Structure 1
Amino acid sequence: MTPPARFDAIVLAGSRGGADPLAEYAGVADKALIQIGGHTMLARVVSALREAGARRILVVHSSDAVRDSALTLGAEILAGASGPSESAARALDLLGAPVLLTTADHALLRPEWITAFLAAVPPDADVAALLASRAVIEAAVPETKRTYLRFADGAWSGCNLFWLATPRAGEAIGLWREVEGDRKRPWRIVRRLGPRLLLRYLAGRLPLSAALAHIGALAGVRAAMVASDFGLAAVDVDKPADLDLVRRLLA
């Protein structure tokens, strides 16, 4: 697939409601506004998207402060819903496909990761996700602690980059709603494979690509994965230890 010279992007920059421990740790009201190296995480993500060729950038927010910051950065804005999946669905309805989806806590995001990802998306995919293997991640940043899904072709972690290639990607977001609460409990996600594939998974004979294809079929879409050569692409800022690590890396 030839990567698009220009593309639209969605940045999820809302909160799940209530006090955010990471924002409190950093001494700010909103996670997206945490300062790293003199710039907010939101500003870093918007800048990387622009350098990669983003045309319209839609920031989904849940506070006035993040809304105002997004406008200052020249982004469009959309009030967030009760959770990230519903927010993503609303943003997709507004911008339409194809569109790139990422998050405001992807503070290390680099334009070359985006262009490499888009260039590698299979042309027949409705939705694609960037993932990095444990070996690639630990080679780049051995001190990080990630949540891994373990398959026959290794252990994998998400990179918070998704290409919603066609309008059918909205069906995948519907499945995302179902598994949203299981993000930190991989076994519950794997349980959706069904008995036959689950047995293959437990026996260590199920590759990640086959699992994604099956889960995509459950949602009625063609789902694909792209393996990242950049281990740092899997490092987001989800907890205080991540923030300390990213600040050290960017120092």
Structure 2
Amino acid sequence: MSARTTAPTTAPTTAIVLAGRRDGATDPLAREAGVTHKCLVPVAGRPMLLHVIEALAGTARIGEIRVVIEDPAILARLPALRGLIANGRVTGVAAQPNLVDSVLAGADGAAFPLFITTADNVLLSPPAIEEMLASCAAAQADAAVAFARRDSVLAAHPEGQRKFYRFADDSYSNCNSYWLRDPTALKAAETFRTGGQFVKHPLRIVGAFGLLNLIRFRYGIGTLADTFARFSRRFRMTISPVILSDGAVAIDVDHARSRRVAEAVMADRTMLAQAAE
């Protein structure tokens, strides 16, 4: 595992938002909404991508925001982004045929560290982003993956998630938020170059993560921290889990149900903000 010193906490973090179409196909939500990309599907009256960019732009430690999408010109057609594009805060990057190459395209020439998320992560917030960046610095990690505890997710909304990763210490949901300290951490992404082919070729998963690690993960043997310590040894780098306090970040918009849930959480947030004024 790496023993490099931690990057200064004052260094700006580049955000990468993955907004391309999976396998080039139109998402069912996009078809229903009559738009070309899932990231343009309205959530609470606005394209979901705008919610994510608003959270990133409202975070002091986030610098450039790179949106990876097949046709970057789409961004300029969103009036809310024109000012951010004009001042260089938001830039478009052409998506590639697979997830890994899209991440690498987004990272090309970027200032590290990187914060990577998806355009459907509409409940991401500046406090959650700040919490993750601070946790990554404290852990002196090379890479990090954000999770939320089951109780936190269900507290945000009782239908927030229906599936959780079970470990000896608790059950967790992934928050579609990742952090990479420097370019050498990108080597972990190569594991996923085959993307969905893992489903057709399970032995590729075994080769990447190790059979024992997969058995432990599948049956919840050991804690989440234990599991990532094993992954770290496997990849010869420090990969840390970060537990976010806001369980809403684990609620991404994948279908009509989660879209309704996200809108309900947003409505609750608006009421709380108004009550606090």
TM over 0.5: yes
Write the letter of the residue equivalent to 1:83: N
Which residue of the other structure, out of 13, 18, 23, is the alignment partner of 2:19? 13
Deviation string for 1:111-139 (max 9, x for gaps)?
00000111111442110111011122112
Instruction: Classify 1:172/1:198 alpha carbon distance in 2 versus 1 (closer, same or farther; 3 Å).
Output: closer
1:63 aligned residue: 71
Instruction: Classify 1:20/1:119 alpha carbon distance in 2 versus 1 (closer, same or farther; 3 Å).
Output: same
Q: Say which one has the larger Rg.
A: 2
Aligned partners of 1:218 and 1:105: how far apart in 2?
30
Deviation string for 1:175-212 (max 9, x for gaps)?
233565559xx9x9689654544555566431112222
Mark the runs of 5 or more structure 1 residues left unpaired by the alignment.
none
Asked if the contact 1:97–1:167 (Cα under 8 Å) also holds between the matched residues in 2, the reply is: yes
Identity level (%): 34
Write the letter of the residue equivalent to 2:14: D
Which residue of the other structure, out of 250, 255, 270, is the alignment partner of 1:239? 255
Alignment of 1:1-251 (within 5 A): 3-4=9-10, 6-16=12-22, 17-53=24-60, 54-63=62-71, 66-69=74-77, 72=82, 73-74=84-85, 75-121=90-136, 122-178=138-194, 193-198=209-214, 200-201=216-217, 204-251=220-267
Using the TM superposition, give the Cα deviation of residue 56 of structure 1 relative to its aligned residue in structure 2, in angstroms: 0.7
Structure 1 residue matching 2:109: 3-state secondary structure: helix
Which TM-score applies when normalising by structure 2? 0.79
Using the TM superposition, give the Cα deviation of residue 36 of structure 1 relative to its aligned residue in structure 2, in angstroms: 2.1
Aligned partners of 1:201 and 1:105: how far apart in 2?
26
Deviates more, 1:61-70 or 1:137-146: 61-70
Write the letter of the residue equivalent to 1:12: L
Using the TM superposition, give the Cα deviation of residue 96 of structure 1 relative to its aligned residue in structure 2, in angstroms: 4.1
Write the letter of the residue equivalent to 2:18: L
Instruction: Classify 1:96/1:174 alpha carbon distance in 2 versus 1 (closer, same or farther; 3 Å).
Output: farther
Deviates more, 1:104-113 or 1:138-147: 138-147
Write the letter of the residue equivalent to 2:67: V
Deviation string for 1:124-183 (max 9, x for gaps)?
211011101112211221112344222112221111111111222111111233565559
Instruction: Classify 1:143/1:97 alpha carbon distance in 2 versus 1 (closer, same or farther; 3 Å).
Output: same
Asked if the contact 1:33–1:66 (Cα under 8 Å) also holds between the matched residues in 2, the reply is: no
Structure 2 residue matching 1:169: 3-state secondary structure: helix
- Count of residues paired in the alignment: 248
Deviates more, 1:102-111 or 1:200-209: 200-209
2:271 aligned residue: none
Deviation string for 1:29-48 (max 9, x for gaps)?
21111122332211111111
Instruction: Classify 1:203/1:44 alpha carbon distance in 2 versus 1 (closer, same or farther; 3 Å).
Output: closer
Aligned partners of 2:156 and 2:32: how far apart in 1?
26
Deviation string for 1:59-85 (max 9, x for gaps)?
100135634347624211110011222
Deviation string for 1:208-228 (max 9, x for gaps)?
122222223333321001111
Instruction: Classify 1:204/1:101 alpha carbon distance in 2 versus 1 (closer, same or farther; 3 Å).
Output: closer
Which TM-score applies when normalising by structure 1? 0.86
Aligned partners of 1:198 and 1:64: how far apart in 2?
38
